[in-house]
A and B are shown apart, each in its own frame.
Chain A
Amino acid sequence: GESVGLHLPTLSVQEGDNSIINCAYSNSASDYFIWYKQESGKGPQFIIDIRSNMDKRQGQRVTVLLNKTVKHLSLQIAATQPGDSAVYFCAENPGGPGTYKYIFGTGTRLKVLA
Chain B
Amino acid sequence: EAQVTQNPRYLITVTGKKLTVTCSQNMNHEYMSWYRQDPGLGLRQIYYSMNVEVTDKGDVPEGYKVSRKEKRNFPLILESPSPNQTSLYFCASSLQAASTDTQYFGPGTRLTVL
Contact = CB atoms under 8 A, between A and B. Distances in A.
Interface stretch (B11-19, B32-40, B65-73, B75-83): B32-40
A12 interface: no
B98 interface: yes
Interface residues of B, number: 32
A2 B99 contact: no
Contact of A44 (B99, B105, B110): B105
A106 B102 CA distance: 19
Contacts of A102: 43, 45
A2 B108 contact: yes
Nearest to B103: A46
Contact of B48 (A2, A42, A51, A100): A100
A104 B42 CA distance: 5
B105 A3 contact: no
Contacts of B106: 43
A103 interface: yes
A2 B45 contact: no
Nearest to A93: B99
Interface of A: 2-7, 31-32, 41-46, 49, 51, 89, 91, 93, 95-107
Given A43-B4, A43-B90, A102-B45, 11 more contacts: A7-B40, A31-B99, A44-B90, A49-B102, A89-B42, A95-B99, A96-B99, A97-B99, A100-B48, A105-B42, A107-B42
5 contacts: A42-B108, A43-B108, A49-B102, A91-B42, A104-B42
